[in-house]
Structure 1
Amino acid sequence: MSLTKAALREKQGATFRMWLSVLTVSLGIFSMITAEQLPVGLIPAISSELNVSIGSGGLTVTIPGVIAAFASIGLPLAVGRLDRRILMAGLLAVMAAASVISALATNFPVLLASRLLVGITIGGFWAIAGSIAVRLVPGPSVPRAMTIVFGGVSAAAVLGVPAGTIIGDLVGWRGAFWSLAFLSFAILLAALLVLPKLEAAQPVEVKALRAQLRNPALLSGVVATALLVAAHYGAYTFVSPVLLEVSGVTAGSIGWLLLGYGILGMIGNAVAGVWAAKSVGRTLACIVIGLGATLALFPLLGVTPLTGTILLLVWGFAYGAAPITLQTWVLSAAPESAETATAIYCFTFNLAISVGTLATSQIVDTMGVNRVLWVDSAIILLVLLPVCRAPMLNRNIGNS
């Protein structure tokens, strides 16, 4: 694009088609993250029908997380300058196919194989989404575009699981996967229709990765992300058994309770977006203390349906504020290498999900859900250490 055309594009502002492109990318991320977490609310039903333990059922979350972690760096490195529109369409097609395989799975190994494909799509899509958003609209509209795109991550993190659980209660866990397949296919069609040609402007390179791995501010953010995400998902993967066994809620109400969790999470995301721009450190410290305390108190106070519901909603608000705060930390630590830093962040985030769920899967059958919540609470509180050791978090990010 010539300078004259670029200047004209800036002056004209974002068009309706441009915003449709941004929304398509956001929906794509929503479908990817939802796919990763979809089994969380379905584990009891999946485990029962496929004759595996609750702990083994947690592998349906662990496997895609591990694969996504390595795909978030490996796939951008492998595809080089491939048109991102083609890459996104291909990943959405694989996601739709994987969801169909999950819905048709007749045994647990087949289901796990389909989840491996899901992991590839998640890592690749999420890693390139941020850089794509910047290129879809003129400069003045980029902040709003970024908010919409990463809003897909937050929306999936807090709404994807309850939506899948409700669908699972209504039509069975296979129906939830069929719904995801249809959603992925619809987004694939939208991507082919509205996205422009998107050649890779600054592809991720090994040299840039090595440079950012020597960035102390980024590394502190990576440690904080690893601890918080691993502990949260270690507990949240088994939130259904927690609500059933500790709080005594009915199985049919879990989906609606998780929807309430999701709504509070969206509110937490909105509040944290404002607070984190002023002080990432103070915002994250509040999140850590609130989330850690909630998990620690759940086995003690959440022993009735009412108190369990209240603590679940607090849990949703606290964790809903976490992803945008951690993302703000990462981007502020590497403003000149946003795509590379985001790839590292995605790697850490997804690997942490896998480590947390795998570790919990190994101990939940012997320790019980109460002790799991206490262990994860202690790990979350450890996030205060990297927060205190990162001086850059004390300044206003908006002025950095």
Structure 2
Amino acid sequence: MSTNTLSTPTQSPGAPPEVATQAVRPTAWLAVVSLGLGIFTLVASEFLPASLLSPIAAELGITEGTAGQLVTATSIIGIIGGPLVVSALPRVNRRWVMAGLTTLAIVSNVLVAVSPVFGLMLASRLLLGIAISGFWAMSLAVTAQLVPADRLGRAMTVVNTGVSLATIAAVPAGAYLGELVGWRAVFLLAAAAGVLTLVAQLATLPSIPASGAPGFRTLLQTARIPVVALGVLAIILLAGGHFMGFTYLRPAFEAIDGITPSLLALLLMIFGVASFIGNMVAGPLADRRLPVLVIVAPAAIGVGTIVLALAGSSVALAAVTVFVWGVGFGAIPTMIQTWMAHVVPERLESAGGLIVAAFQIAITIGAAVGGLLVDSVGVQAALIGGGIAAVLGAGVLSSARAR
């Protein structure tokens, strides 16, 4: 297992991102892939309960709504988990931090699999929330030390591919395996996947010293930088607008005249595939045309959501617009991370923690506001409101970049 220091030279933490043009060694890309595997394992674990709610609720004697809080718990703790991990471990080698977070996810899945009561299961999922938010928060700074800055967008695409694949595969795979071996065994399989991921990380990640000044003070100082504060606001608008509509995507599809279960499944699949495509194209664009991507990706979300709200009885129009929407949102994580690396290259760990917190806040606010609009006006209002929020987010991000 590798214990060497970084094998690929990169820019100093305070250097402008544009100065680094070194080639990336294959060993560095293997390390980046191991981070993507980590993200895949963690996010897949997060979504597993969504596919297993019925058997979990039946065995524990709880409602499916209560069982659904196993997913909610990981998101809520994520608001503080990312900043907490970044700030509380100021001097620990990042190789061991990433491995430790993966280990925490393994422990969480094992505890869920053997928990006799819901309370212990819920507490175990809080551990997973810390692991997910901490791992994602650290991934930007760690990746930036593995590759030169002019390859950071592409490297983050590799890392974020784990999110795309987990989003597409976790729920159907969990449901299928749950029928075959039972829901508890599914969580044990997730733990086993975590062990394999941990082995890959220890075999490929080099020694990565902590970057930048450590601690909560640095996190707060970073948050008070005007351009960073605007970036955080932009994330909340962009991601919040997305989840304002995405949370209620199924009822939006069901409102289309002539929709059938098979067409519904097809539209959902189109969104997942489009999101994967958006993530794949985001990296090269972020490295070469970041200002363009800052406008195009949110615009795709805005156009997709608003046109979908007006699709009426046209399934074909809905398919096109949901594809555009999916591509736009698939590009957002890599775009935001690369943008932040350009803005505060010397504070990537603190920036990563703020990005994660902003995304989790956006999910919470977006789903809540969307729900109010759905209940009071209709699902079309949630889609239009989400599209407007995404476009406003693009404007804020562009103005922040200019500053």
TM-score strictly above 0.5: yes
Task: Give distance in 2, aligned partners of 1:387 and 1:278.
Answer: 10
Q: Report what 1:249 is aligned to.
A: 261
1:319-340 superposed Cα distances (whole Å, 9 cap, x missing partner): 2122223334333332342332
Query: Structure 1 stretch 344-353 or stretch 191-200: which is displaced more?
Result: 191-200
Aligned-residue CA RMSD in angstroms?
4.0
Query: Structure 1 stretch 68-77 or stretch 323-332: which is displaced more?
Result: 323-332
Q: 1:371 aligns with which of 353, 365, 378?
A: 378
Q: Report what 1:319 is aligned to.
A: 329
Q: Report what 2:124 is aligned to.
A: 114
Task: Give distance in 2, aligned partners of 1:204 and 1:282.
Answer: 33
- Identify if the C-alpha distance between structure 1 residues 41 and 243 changes in structure 2 by more than 3 Å, giving closer, same or farther: farther
Task: Give distance in 1, aligned partners of 2:25 and 2:80.
Answer: 36
Per-residue deviation, 1:121: 0.2
For 1:81, the aligned partner's letter is R
Matches within 5 A, 1:12-161: 14-40=24-50, 56=66, 58-104=68-114, 108-137=118-147, 139=148, 142-144=149-151, 147-153=154-160, 155-161=161-167
Identity over the aligned pairs, expressed in percent?
27
Task: Give distance in 2, aligned partners of 1:278 and 1:17.
Answer: 31
1:225-279 superposed Cα distances (whole Å, 9 cap, x missing partner): 113323433543455666678644159x84x764442221122234444275143
Per-residue deviation, 1:385: 3.2
**2:174 corresponds to 1:168:** yes
- Structure 1: runs of 5+ lacking an equivalent: none
Q: Report what 2:358 is aligned to.
A: 348
Task: Give distance in 2, aligned partners of 1:387 and 1:36.
Answer: 28
Per-residue deviation, 1:72: 0.8
- Identify if the C-alpha distance between structure 1 residues 88 and 33 changes in structure 2 by more than 3 Å, giving closer, same or farther: same
Task: Give distance in 2, aligned partners of 1:358 and 1:107.
Answer: 29
Partner SS state of residue 382, structure 1: helix
Per-residue deviation, 1:143: 3.8
1:71-95 superposed Cα distances (whole Å, 9 cap, x missing partner): 1111121112012222222211111
- Structure 2: runs of 5+ lacking an equivalent: 11-19
Preserved contact between residue 231 and residue 396 of structure 2 (Cα < 8 Å): no
Per-residue deviation, 1:199: 2.8
Matches within 5 A, 1:270-289: 270-273=280-283, 274=285, 277-289=290-302
Task: Give distance in 2, aligned partners of 1:295 and 1:115.
Answer: 35
Per-residue deviation, 1:27: 1.5
Task: Give distance in 1, aligned partners of 2:388 and 2:221.
Answer: 29
Preserved contact between residue 299 and residue 390 of structure 2 (Cα < 8 Å): no
Task: Give distance in 2, aligned partners of 1:43 and 1:359.
Answer: 25
**2:303 corresponds to 1:290:** yes
Q: Report what 2:202 is aligned to.
A: 192
For 1:68, the aligned partner's letter is G
Task: Give distance in 2, aligned partners of 1:118 and 1:263.
Answer: 26
Per-residue deviation, 1:126: 1.3
Preserved contact between residue 29 and residue 149 of structure 1 (Cα < 8 Å): no
Preserved contact between residue 283 and residue 325 of structure 1 (Cα < 8 Å): no
Q: 1:388 aligns with which of 356, 376, 395?
A: 395
Partner SS state of residue 279, structure 1: helix
- Identify if the C-alpha distance between structure 1 residues 394 and 128 changes in structure 2 by more than 3 Å, giving closer, same or farther: closer
1:370-399 superposed Cα distances (whole Å, 9 cap, x missing partner): 93563254044124335435554676xxxx
For 1:158, the aligned partner's letter is S
Q: Report what 1:207 is aligned to.
A: 217
For 2:299, the aligned partner's letter is C
Partner SS state of residue 172, structure 1: helix
Task: Give distance in 2, aligned partners of 1:168 and 1:240.
Answer: 20
Task: Give distance in 2, aligned partners of 1:46 and 1:359.
Answer: 29
Per-residue deviation, 1:37: 4.0
Number of equivalenced pairs: 380
- Identify if the C-alpha distance between structure 1 residues 6 and 63 changes in structure 2 by more than 3 Å, giving closer, same or farther: closer
